[in-house]
Amino acid sequence: MTVTYVINGSEVTGLERFWQVIGEAVNGPGGYFGRNPDSFADCLRGGMGTPDDDDFVIEWRDHTRSAAALGHQETARYLRGLQARADPGNLPGLRQELTRADAGLGPTLFDRLVEIIRAETAPGTLLLR
């Protein structure tokens, strides 16, 4: 039996809220399912609330509202926060990415989250509605 986890896109108002929404969708109120891209990818690989046999679907409803909330402005805010703790060798690339986000260019957080889901789950797991 396939389990469906629903992300209500209208509830996603920024990245922190996305972590709450996905955590609760998978593991109930107050649930955890990652708090950064790396831990999110780890959770998607299994053992953190998703069925062990990978028989699940993530239905992202009203995803266009999430895409707007996780757009270039939120991406730039997130990248600014990373600068303080980034490895010095990674700063030039991070700054370049930030400049692009500030200009409304390049992948957004929404794009990255979709990419992570698609990379870490079976084809057809993500349904954008």
pLDDT at 51: 66
Q: Which CATH class is domain 1-70+108-129?
A: alpha beta
Tens digits of residue pLDDT in 7-28: 999 999 999 999 999 999 999 9
Q: What is the pLDDT of residue 52?
A: 67
- Specify the pLDDT at position 20: 98
The pLDDT value given to residue 45: 87
Task: Give the domain ranges of the chain.
Answer: 1-70+108-129, 72-107
Q: What does the pLDDT look like over 47-61, one tens digit per residue?
A: 776 766 668 999 999
What residues of the chain score a pLDDT lower than 70? 49, 51-54
pLDDT at 1: 83
Whether 74 and 13 have beta carbons less than 8 Å apart is answered as no
Q: 59, exposed or middle or buried, with CB in 10 Å at 0-12, 13-18, 19+? A: middle
DSSP state letter for 10 = G
